[in-house]
């Protein structure tokens, strides 16, 4: 009412314009109005120029458990969740030294400013397979994804080659890291950093390093860093049976992978990292990043593995062919995504515990709301050892067996060696728990045979 009063006074020329604004600006109501307007404008979705609507940063596909409650129960404020997501990046901006207007002459100085001595020493060995991403995350104060990916962009010469603005690149990586859910035991920014580091190791393999273009490397690192972006900590069947909006949006097909891809595209556009490129190149980049991320859908494992086997049997893979290189990058990202059993026992065991904790958390929710517990998610009947042995037997061994056929290097043999030792270790744990070492988790055996790959054939 006061706002309207002062506006009428001005329209009647009974109050000078400056005086009117002084009066209005003193009104608490006006400040509230401006705050709400700012929040509203900040929540507008980014519309697509390539035929689909991208997921905006901070969309946060939380699970709205209100659908399981009666009307009498207290409802959680959805708007409050969205506001917290929206403001989290602003909190980061205020606390970061990097965004306080400090000018940096070149990308190397950015590393000098932001990394302490120990983290810098670790980055000198970022291509080693025994790289401890957990330690690196602690040394970078929880910023492993930003620190590692920025370093790899610089290491591969991508900043100079594509004439990237280092401020925009840093902002893009910060937004990516911010959109991973730190409360997820497994699908969080540390996992994304681990996958990105593994992808870097694969890019260094002789067959790839001499054939890949800067464009290929750029796509690979972005896809690795964003492949699980905004993961809600539950799987696709959970989203489908709870009628989650993402399941409806993507018609129950590669729901999470589609969301990760669209979210990544949204961040790329919001950051303006490649705004200096032509529209055609930007659209091609978005599409090819999508191809890489969608390949990580585990339900498509058999399809990709069969194609890989066929190529290897025929010996017709030609890395001078852009389509063949892109397919190999898809397989490399698939390997990087599930390479945990191929790490050293100390690292692999930590990942096994984290992913099982996430499974069991989903199972607890399903029990609480009488949804039917998903396979591998019942903490009363499942064990880490059983789950890991089944995972290694049906998914990891076949994939890495074929990768070793394609790239029979020291790294491939190291990964297979760790895989064998880790499987034996889990079988030892299994024997201690059940008195038998031959059990395989029935949840894997009951899975659709179309999803499970055949045994690997090593040549």
**Residues tagged in the binding site annotation:** 187-191, 227-228, 337, 388
Helix (H, G, I), strand (E, B) or coil at 436: coil
Query: CA 425, CA 213: separation in Å to the nearest integer?
Result: 40
Yes or no: say if 333 and 223 are a contact pair by the CB < 8 Å rule.
yes
Cβ-based neighbours of 426, under 8 Å, separated by 6 or more: 352, 384, 385, 388, 389, 392
Sign of dihedral through CA atoms 42, 47, 49, 54? positive
Query: CA 446, CA 452: separation in Å to the nearest integer?
Result: 10
Yes or no: say if 156 and 217 are a contact pair by the CB < 8 Å rule.
yes
DSSP state of 458: -
Listing DSSP states for 125-165 in one string gives TTT-TT--HHHHHHHTTT-HHHHHHHHHHHHTTHHHHTT--
Numbered residues of the known binding site for AMP: 187-191, 228, 337, 388
Helix (H, G, I), strand (E, B) or coil at 62: coil
Cβ burial of 95 (10 Å; 0-12, 13-18, 19+) is exposed
| Residue where the block lists tokens 């995504």 | 337
Helix (H) / strand (E) containing 198: helix 189-203
Query: CA 187, CA 229: separation in Å to the nearest integer?
Result: 9
Catalytic machinery residues: 187
Yes or no: say if 381 and 439 are a contact pair by the CB < 8 Å rule.
no
Cβ burial of 163 (10 Å; 0-12, 13-18, 19+) is exposed
Helix (H) / strand (E) containing 36: helix 28-42
Structure tokens at 91: 């909190």
Cβ-based neighbours of 306, under 8 Å, separated by 6 or more: 453
Helix H, strand E, coil C: the string for 171-233 is: HHHHHHHHCCCCCCCCCCHHHHHHHHHHHHHHHCCHHHHCCCCHHHHHHHHHHHHHCCCCCCC
Helix (H, G, I), strand (E, B) or coil at 52: coil
Numbered residues of the known binding site for Zn(2+): 191, 227-228, 337
Query: CA 361, CA 184: separation in Å to the nearest integer?
Result: 10
């Amino acid at each position: 009412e006061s706002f309207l009063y002062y506006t009428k006074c001005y329209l009647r020329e009974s109050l000078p314009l400056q005086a009117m604004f002084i009066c209005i600006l003193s009104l608490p109501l006006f400040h509230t109005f401006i705050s709400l307007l700012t929040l509203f404008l900040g929540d507008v979705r980014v519309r697509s120029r390539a035929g689909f609507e991208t997921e905006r940063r901070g969309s946060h596909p939380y699970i709205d458990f209100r659908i399981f409650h009666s009307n009498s129960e207290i409802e959680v404020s959805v708007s409050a969740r969205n506001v917290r997501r929206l403001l989290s990046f602003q909190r980061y901006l205020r606390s970061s030294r990097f965004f306080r207007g400090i000018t940096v002459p070149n990308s190397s100085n950015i590393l000098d400013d932001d990394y302490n001595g120990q983290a810098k020493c670790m980055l000198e060995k970022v291509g080693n397979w025994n790289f401890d991403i957990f330690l690196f995350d602690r040394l970078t104060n929880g910023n492993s994804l930003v620190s590692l990916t920025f370093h790899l962009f610089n290491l591969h010469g991508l900043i100079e080659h594509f004439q990237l603005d280092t401020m925009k690149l840093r902002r893009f990586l910060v937004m990516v890291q911010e959109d991973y859910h730190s409360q997820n035991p497994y699908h969080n920014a540390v996992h994304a950093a681990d996958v990105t580091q593994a992808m870097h190791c694969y890019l260094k393999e002789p067959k790839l390093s001499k054939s890949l273009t800067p464009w290929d490397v750029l796509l690979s690192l972005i896809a690795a860093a964003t492949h699980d972006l905004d993961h809600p900590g539950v799987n696709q069947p959970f989203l489908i049976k709870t009628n989650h909006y993402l399941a409806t949006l993507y018609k129950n097909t590669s729901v999470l992978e589609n969301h990760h891809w669209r979210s990544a595209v949204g961040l790329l556009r919001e950051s303006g990292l490649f705004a200096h490129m032509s529209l055609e190149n930007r659209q091609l980049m978005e599409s090819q990043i999508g191809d890489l991320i969608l390949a990580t859908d585990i339900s498509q494992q058999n399809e990709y593995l069969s194609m890989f086997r066929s190529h290897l049997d025929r010996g017709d893979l030609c890395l001078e062919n852009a389509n063949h290189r892109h397919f190999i990058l898809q397989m490399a990202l698939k390997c990087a995504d599930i390479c945990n059993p191929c790490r050293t026992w100390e690292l692999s065991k930590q990942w096994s515990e984290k992913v099982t904790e996430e499974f069991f958390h989903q199972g607890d929710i399903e029990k609480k709301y009488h949804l039917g517990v998903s396979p591998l998610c019942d903490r009363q009947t499942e064990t880490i050892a059983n789950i890991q042995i089944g995972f290694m037997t049906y998914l990891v061994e076949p994939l890495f067996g074929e990768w070793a056929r394609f790239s029979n290097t020291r790294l491939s043999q190291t990964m297979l060696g760790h895989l064998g030792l880790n499987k034996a270790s889990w079988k030892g744990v299994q024997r201690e728990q059940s008195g038998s070492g031959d059990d395989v988790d029935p949840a894997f055996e009951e899975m659709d045979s179309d999803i499970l790959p055949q045994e690997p054939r090593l040549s």
